[in-house]
Amino acid sequence: ETGVTQSPTHLIKTRGQQVTLRCSSQSGHNTVSWYQQALGQGPQFIFQYYREEENGRGNFPPRFSGLQFPNYSSELNVNALELDDSALYLCASSLAPTGAQGTQYFGPGTRLTVL
Amino acid sequence: AQTVTQSQPEMSVQEAETVTLSCTYDTSENNYYLFWYKQPPSRQMILVIRQEAYKQQNATENRFSVNFQKAAKSFSLKISDSQLGDTAMYFCAFMKPANTGNQFYFGTGTSLTVIP
């Protein structure tokens, strides 16, 4: 069974640019959630996708957007990058959005640095 | 708004001893889930234990157990027979399921060091 994978591992961008981060969910998982983890902080929930539809969103501006594809892999897009967007971005997948099957399995993360 | 508070930024424990990590949360919801996650220095987050709010029985997973006090909104993690591999950052997390979309909240973490 393949776990959650994310690409790229590291990324450096400049302020104002756009970035796309990718996540492949664990086999059989139809739900993907994205988190932002600043250095020394706990993860902050960005949004969740279930069967290609957004299924919950945290307190992030619209320049944070996402997609989920028919194979349940997912992308996180961030436009107009700001310095404060520098963080570790975590993806987590689960068998279902909630309930006993809602247990999330995390990927290793993408470290984004905005200069 | 839901909040999760971990009041112990750092803790240490001798190998083979027991340690308890504290977590409190604030919510007006009755149906929710609580989790403890472990993030070792290699950074991949791993689920340690989960608790459904409607279950009165405290969850247990091998050496890990919780003390869930719903009225007090407290959810502490007890690690028995601590091992060197338990050294990690531990996060308490809260999930609120909702028809309008799920919401997840994490605490700021407790850095646990197991001393040989």
Give ∠ CA B85-A23-A90 in degrees, rounded to 5. 45
Interface of A with B in 70-99 (CB under 8 A): 88, 90, 92, 97-99
What value does the mean pLDDT take over residues B28-57? Answer: 90
**CA closest to A50 among chain B residues:** B101
Higher-pLDDT residue of A93, B43: A93
Tally A–B CB contacts below 8 A: 64
Task: Give how far A57 is from chain B: nearest CA, Å.
Answer: 7
Which of B33, B42, B43 faces A88 most closely, judged by CB atoms? Answer: B43
Provide, for chain B, the percentages of residues in helix, strand and coil under a 3-state DSSP scheme, each rounded to the nearest 5: 5, 55, 45
Contact: A108, B43; criterion CB under 8 Å: yes
Contact: B46, A48; criterion CB under 8 Å: no
Task: Give how far A39 is from chain B: nearest CA, Å.
Answer: 11
Q: Would you list the DSSP string of A15-83?
A: TT--EEEEEEPPTT--EEEEEEE-TTS--EEEEEEETTEEEEE-S--TTEEEEE-TTS-EEEEE-S--G
Digits of tens for pLDDT over chain A (115 positions)?
569 999 999 999 999 999 999 999 998 899 999 999 998 899 999 999 999 999 889 999 999 999 999 999 999 999 999 999 999 999 999 988 877 678 889 999 999 999 9
- Mutate one of B50, B100, B102, B106 to test the A interface: name it (highest A CB count within 10 A): B102
Task: Give the HSE-up count for residue A61: Cα atoms under 13 Å, Cβ half-sphere.
Answer: 8
**CA closest to B91 among chain A residues:** A42
Distance from chain centroid for Cα A80: 17
| 8 Å CB contact between B110 and A65 | no
Residue B95 to residue A96: CA distance in whole angstroms: 13
Residue B82 to residue B63: CA distance in whole angstroms: 8
Task: Give how far A1 is from chain B: nearest CA, Å.
Answer: 16
Is B17's pLDDT higher than 60? yes
Q: Give the confidence band of B1 by pLDDT, cuts at 50, 70, 90.
A: low
Cβ neighbours for A20, distance < 8 A, ≥ 6 positions apart: A75, A76, A77
Whole-Å CA distances, A92 to A24, A27, A46, B22: 9, 12, 11, 24
Condensed to tens digits (0 to 9), the pLDDT of residues B55-111 reads: 889 999 999 999 999 999 999 999 999 999 999 999 999 998 877 677 889 999 999
- Mutate one of B34, B95, B99 to test the A interface: name it (highest A CB count within 10 A): B95
- By a Cβ cutoff of 8 Å, what residues of chain B touch chain A? 4, 33, 37, 42-47, 50, 52, 91, 93, 95, 97-98, 100-109
Contact: A42, B98; criterion CB under 8 Å: no
Buried b (16+ CB within 10 A) or exposed e, B47-83: bbbbbebeeeeebeeeebbbebeeeebebbbbbeebe
Quick one: pLDDT at residue B6?
97
